[in-house]
Structure 1
Amino acid sequence: MALSLFLSLPVLIYCSTIFVVEVSRHGARTPLTYFPWDTADGRWSPYPEGELTPEGMRQHYLLGYEFRNRYIINTRLLNETFYQPEINVYSTDVDRTLQSAVSQLLGLYPPGTGPNLRLPELEETAVPPIEVYNETEIIQELGQSALPNHTQVIPVHTDSLSREILLVASEDCPRYDYLMDLRNNATDVQELIEENASLLTTIATYFKVSASEAGNIFPGLVDNLRVNNWYGYTVPTEFQGNFFTQANSFANQLNQLTAYTPDLLARYAGSAFLSTLSYLLNNAQKEASDLRYQFYSAHDTTILNILSALQLPNGQQPPFASTLIFELIQDDANPTVYNVTLAYNDVLQTVGNCPSTSCPLETFLEFINARAFPNITASCMMNYDTVNWGSLTKPSTKSSSSDDDFFESLDWYWWVVISVGFVVVISAIIAVIVYCIKKNKKSSSTYERMDFINEKMDFKSPK
C-alpha cells in the first residue's frame, strides 16, 4: 500500500480527485455451509452460516479509516463530517454486506464526528412518546450529542431490482443465469471436470455418497475449506494439502468457464455496472450533482463480474474485503482534462485501449459503453430461443466490443425460416399490387363503355 501511495503522489500534486466509485467484497464471514468439523467444536458459535464475523467487521472498519485518510484528510474530497448529498451507499440485501458497509462507514466517519442536537433546550424534547427506563440519566450522559460518543449514522440503501442486477447479475438476470446453466454441459467444462475426477472420488469416499452427490457437495465444501483456511482452523486430513490446492484451482477455473466464457457472458455479468459507472462519471464531470463518493457493498462475484466485463480477469477469488476503486481526476492546470484510474486492492490497472493506468475520460467511457448492453434489463429478458448454441459450447476466440446483435445469435435454420418468410411476404405484396392494377384497368374500361352508350342515347340530365 505504501508503494502505491508513493507512486500516486505526482497525481495528487498536479491533479485533484473529484469523484470516487468503490466496490467492495464483504469482510471475513463464516462458511456458507457447515460440515461436521464446524459444529463439533463450536468454532463458529454463535454465528449462523454465511454471517459476518468480528474479523470481517474490523477489516471494513480499517478500510474506512484508510479512505478517511485519503479522501477526507489528504485530498479533501469529502467533508470531515457526514454531508448526505456527498455520499451514497448501496448494498445487496444480505446481512454480511450490510454489516460490512456499516463497519466501513464507522471508519470513514468515526465516533466523535456525529451531530449535536440543534438547540440545547431540545434535550428534554427529543424523547419518544413512551416512558424510557433511566431516561433522565441517559439524557445527562448524552448531553448535546445525538448518540453516544457522537456516533454518526449513515443510510445504507438496498431496495432496488436494478441495483441487484448491478451487483449480483446471476440472481436477477434470467438470460445470464440460463446461459451459465448451458455452459455446464459444454465440452471444455466437462473435460475440466474429468481432469479433476479424483477430487470427487475423495469426497464420495469420505462422505460415503455417490459421485453425483459428491458433485453437489463440492461447491459448499470448497467454500468451507477456504474460510477455515483463512482463519487457520483445522479440517480433516483428507481435505488438506494437495486436495485443497487442487480443489481451489479447479473451482476458480470452473467459475471462469461457466460464468465468463465466452465473452458474451462476461458482458452480461458486468453490463449493468458499466452502464451505471458511465452515467456516474458523466454526471461528475458535468458537476450535475453534489455526489462525490459512490460506495457499493457486495460480493466476490460482483468484483469478478466487473473485472471480466472490463476484460481484466485474474481467475482468482477476490479475498475478503477486496476493493475496486475508480477515481475521476481533474487536471489542475487544465480543468477541462479528466482522467480515470482503477485500482484493484491498491494495484493500478490498465483498461481497454487506455494508454496507461491513467486513462483519458473519453477513452474510458468509449470502452465501457461499447462493452455494456444498451438496455441490460431487456437483454436479461430476451427469448432463450435466440441463443447461439455453438458459441456457448466452446471457448470464444475473440472479444466483442459491440452490442449483442440479435441476428448474430441466430442458428442457420433460423436464417432459413427468416428467408422463407421474407419471400412469402414479398410474394404477397406483389400479388396485391398486380390485383389492384388489373382491377383499375377493368374499372377504366367500364367507364369508357358507359360514356359510349350515353353518347348514342343522347343522355340528358333531368331539369
Structure 2
Amino acid sequence: MPSSRKKLVVVALGGLAGVAGAWTYFRRRDATDRQPQKKKVEDIDLSLKQVQVIFRHGARTPLHLIPGIEEATYDKKKWRKPFPLTVYDYEVLNIDGKEAPDSKYEEYYNKLGLLKGGCPHGMLTYLGQVQTYNLGRRLRKCYIGKLPGRLMSEFDPDLVYLRTTNMNRTKDSLRCVLAGIFGAEQLQEYNEKNGQKVTFYTSTQEDEHLFPNPHTCPVLKRINRAAIVDGVDLPEFLEERQEIEKVLGLKGNDWKHKIHFISARDDLVARSAHGLPIPKVLVPYVTKITENAVQLFTYSFIGQHELQNDIASNLSSGRMLEQFRNAIRDFVIEKRPVRLFLYSAHDSSLMALLLALKLDDKHWPPFASDLLFELHQCNNSKEYYVIVRYNGEAVVLPKLKKRYVEIGQESAVPLKYFMRYLNEEKVMEAREYRKVCESNILDIIAEEIEKREGLKIEDKEAEEMTDRPAGM
C-alpha cells in the first residue's frame, strides 16, 4: 500500500471515543484444529430440515447517474408494469408484528424525482421481477413439493418466515421470489381461505441488520465514509478518475462533478441490464470503472488496512450471521419450527457475507444473487450437517475445509463445527455490537498503524457526508 494512501486511510479514522481496549478484545482465537475428517455420509441417510436464503433484489433503475453524459431513458410503460405471475395480496409489518414503519430510504428516492422515461430511482423493474421470480422457481425445484426430502408441499406461515428490508425493491423482490416458489394463484387462495394476507416483516432504518447499516453504528459509518466519500480522492484511483473526468469534460472540483466509481458502475450496470446503450465515450473505461468500484465496495465492508479487516467485517456481517445461527439453533432445540427463511436484501448484504466467510471471488453480486444455508440431519446418527451455496453452487468455507465430509457427490460440514466457527469468529450479538460501535476502536487501530508505519494522523474535513451503504 503506497504511503500516501495509507495516510489518507488514517485520516478517515479519527474522532470516536468510547471503550478502551476493544481492539485486543477482537483478537479471536482459532476456532478449529487441523485434524482432517475421513468420514463419509451417504446422501440417502440425510434428511433436509431447513433452508435459509438471503438474496439480492432483481434488476432496478439506477440510484446514481454519471455526470457529463446524457441520462438513459427508462420507459415506465415497459419497466414499471407488474409481472402478472407475481401478483397477489400481501401485507408488510414491523418485525414486532406492529404497523410497518415509514421508509426513510424511499423518502430520499422520492426527493430525487423521476428518471427520464417516468420511472423512480431504485425501482425494481419488470426485468427484476422476472429475475426474482425465476430465483423462486429454482428454489421450488430444489426444496418444495411432495417428494421425500422436501421442506413442504404448500405455503404454511408457520413454516415460512418472510423478511425484507424496508425498501420497495426488496419488498417487490420478496413478492416475486415467493410467487416463484408457491405460485401467485396458490398464495391468493391462501389469503381468501384464511381471511388474512401473506405477511412480510421489515424493520426501521435505525434497527436494520440485513445489510451493513451505518445508521446503527458510528464505527461502521466511519468505515463506510472512508470508502464511499473520502475514497474518491484515494491516490490509487486518482489518475484514472481524472482521466475519465477529462474525457467527460468535468473539472472535478466539486463533489457532484467528480467520478465516483461505485456510482458510475451503478449507472452502467442498470443500462446494460435493461438493454440500454453505454455512451461510446465511456466504453473504453467500463472495465476499469468496474474494478475500481469493486475495490471501493470491498473497502466499505472490511476497511482499507489489514488491521481494520476483522473488526470491520464483524460489524458489517456479524448481526446477519447471528440471525442465521439463531434460526438453526432454534430449530435444532425445537424452539421454532420454521423450515424456510427468505431474506430479501441487497448486494451490500451478500458482499459483506461473502467477504466475512472468505467466499468472495472479487465480483459484485449480480441482480437476484443468493447465498443459502441448508441444514440436514443424518437419519441414523441424528447428527446435523450444513451445506452452503452461492447462486446454486455448493461452496466450501475455507476455514472449515478440513472439517468437511463427503455426502454423495457433495461436501458438508458437521453443524457443531459450523456453529463453533460462527460463535467464536463471525457472529456479533447485540450487546457486543453496541459495545464496539460505541468504542474508540478506530482510534486504537489508527495509533497502531501510525506506530508500525510512522505516519502522522491529521484531521480532514470531507466535502460531503453520506449515510447510504455502498452499492444499495
Scaled by the length of structure 1, the TM-score of the pair is 0.68
Q: For residue 113 of structure 1, what is the aligned residue in structure 2? A: 186
Is the aligned partner of 1:313 residue 2:346? no
Match of 1:19 in 2: 50
The Cα of 1:174 is off from its aligned counterpart by 2.1
Q: Deviations over 1:366-417 (max 9, x none)?
A: 11112223434413531347632437869x9xxxxxxxxxxxxxxxxxxxxx
Question: Cα offset for 1:39?
Answer: 4.6
Mapped pair 1:263 → 2:294 = no
Q: Residue 82 of structure 1 contacts residue 152 of structure 1 at CA under 8 Å; is this kept in 2?
A: no
Contact 2:210 2:345 (C-alpha < 8 Å) held by counterparts: no
The one-letter amino acid of 1:381's match is C
For the structure 1 residues 332 and 255, does the alpha-carbon distance in structure 2 shift closer, same or farther, using more than 3 Å as the test? same
Rate the CA distance shift 1:13–1:367 in 2: closer, same or farther, 3 A.
same
Q: 1:172 and 1:333 mapped to 2: Cα distance?
A: 45
Question: Are the counterparts in 2 of residues 18 and 329 from structure 1 also a CA contact under 8 Å?
Answer: yes
Equivalent runs, 1:111-260 vs 2, <5 Å = 111-114=184-187, 146=192, 153-160=197-204, 164-182=208-226, 190-194=234-238, 197-213=239-255, 214-215=257-258, 217-240=260-283, 242-260=284-302
What does residue 30 of structure 1 align with? 61
Task: Tell me what 1:361 maps to.
Answer: 415
3-state DSSP of counterpart to 1:363: helix
Distance 1:298 1:75, change over 3 A: farther
Is the 2:220–2:315 Cα contact (8 Å) retained in structure 1? yes
Aligned in 2, Cα 1:114/1:158: closer, same or farther, shift over 3 Å? closer
Structure 2: distance between partners of 1:304 and 1:257: 11
The Cα of 1:152 is off from its aligned counterpart by 9.7
Q: Distance in 2 between matches of 1:112 and 1:232?
A: 31
Structure 1 distance, partners of 2:232, 2:131, is 38
Q: Deviations over 1:114-140 (max 9, x none)?
A: 4769xxxxxxxxxxxxxxxxxxxxxxx
Deviations along 1:206-249, one digit per CA (max 9) or x if unpaired, are: 14332554435543222101221223321221111x30001100
Q: 1:61 to 1:348 in 2, by over 3 A?
A: same
- Displacement of 1:13 in angstroms is 2.6
1:341 maps to 387
Kept in 1, the 8 Å contact 2:52–2:372? The answer is yes
Check the 8 A contact 2:58/2:129 in 1, yes or no. yes
Q: Hey, what's the Cα distance between the residues in 2 that align with 1:189 and 1:376? A: 33
Paired residues, what number?
A: 353
Residues 409-454 of structure 1, C-alpha deviations (whole Å, 9 max, x = no match)? xxxxxxxxxxxxxxxxxxxxxxxxxxxxxxxxxxxxxxxxxxxxxx
2:104 maps to 1:48: no
Instruction: Give, in whole Å, the separation in 2 of the partners of 1:57 and 1:185.
Output: 32
Match of 1:102 in 2: 175
Distance 1:217 1:321 in 2: 24
Query: Whole-Å Cα distance in 2 between the matches of residues 79 and 184 of structure 1?
Result: 43
Judged with a 3 Å threshold, the aligned counterparts in structure 2 of structure 1 residues 331 and 59 are, in CA distance, closer, same or farther, namely: same
SS in 1 for 2:71: helix
Instruction: Sort the Cα spacing of 1:393 and 1:94 in 2 relative to 1 into closer, same or farther, 3 A.
Output: farther
Q: Which of 322, 331, 334 is the matching residue for 1:284?
A: 331
User: What is the distance in 2 between the residues matched to 1:216 and 1:392?
Assistant: 32
- Cα distance, 1:11 vs structure 2: 6.5
In the aligned structure 1, how far is the partner of 2:336 from the partner of 2:205? 23
2:96 corresponds in structure 1 to none
Secondary structure at the aligned position of 1:325 is classed as: strand
What per-residue deviation string (whole Å, max 9, x for no partner) do you get for residues 242-263 of structure 1?
3000110011112223421322
Report deviation, 1:85.
0.9
Shift of 1:189: 8.5
1 or 2, which has the higher helix percentage?
A: 1
SS in 2 for 1:155: strand
Distance in 1 of aligned mates of 2:176 and 2:196: 12
Distance 1:247 1:75, change over 3 A: farther
Q: CA deviation at 1:268?
A: 1.1
Report the CA distance shift for 1:30/1:315 in structure 2 as closer, same or farther (over 3 A): same
Q: Which residue of 1 aligns with 2:427?
A: 372
1:367-446 residue pairs with structure 2 within 5 A?
367-370=421-424, 371-374=426-429, 375-379=431-435, 381-384=437-440, 387-390=443-446
Q: For 1:187 and 1:112, locate their aligned partners in 2 and report how far apart those are by CA, in whole Å.
A: 48
When the two chains are superposed, the root-mean-square deviation of aligned CA atoms in Å is 3.2
Change (3 A) 1:298 1:15: same
What is the SS of the residue equivalent to 2:324? Answer: helix
Q: For structure 2, list consecutive stretches of 5 or more residues without a partner in the other structure.
A: 1-40, 80-116, 304-308, 405-410, 453-472
How big is the shift at 1:34? Answer: 4.0
Partner Cα separation in structure 2 for residue 333 and residue 162 of structure 1: 45
Query: In structure 1, how many angstroms separate the alpha carbons of the residues matched to 2:447 and 2:415?
Result: 33
Aligned equivalents of 2:380 and 2:181: distance in 1?
30
Paired with 2:241 and 2:336, the residues of 1 have a C-alpha distance of: 53
By relative contact order (CA 8 Å, sep 6+), the higher-ranking structure is 2
Contact 1:169–1:270 (Cα < 8 Å) also in 2: no
256-265 vs 363-372, greater mean Cα deviation: 256-265
Alignment-derived partner of residue 162 in structure 2: 89
Contact 1:93 1:158 in 2 (8 A): yes
Q: Deviations over 1:335-369 (max 9, x none)?
A: 2x111111011121212224234111110111111
Identity of aligned residues (%): 22
Change in CA separation of 1:385 and 1:304 when aligned onto 2, cut-off 3 Å: closer
C-alpha distance in 2, partners of 1:189/1:393? 20
Identify if the C-alpha distance between structure 1 residues 60 and 249 changes in structure 2 by more than 3 Å, giving closer, same or farther. same
Q: Which amino acid aligns with 1:347?
A: E
Task: Give CA-to-partner distance per residue, 1:10-59, whole Å, 9 cap, x none.
Answer: 97532111011100000011111245533568586332111001111111
The residue that corresponds to 2:342 in the other structure is 295
- For the 8 Å contact 1:186–1:393, the answer to whether it is kept is no
Letter in 2 for 1:215: K
Q: Deviations over 1:155-183 (max 9, x none)?
A: 11113568612334334322211133346
* Maintained 8 Å contact 2:211/2:316: no
Q: Summarize the Cα distance change of 1:249–1:11 in structure 2 as closer, same or farther, 3 Å threshold.
A: farther
Q: Which has the larger radius of gyration?
A: 1
**d(CA) in 2 for partners of 1:104, 1:185:** 34
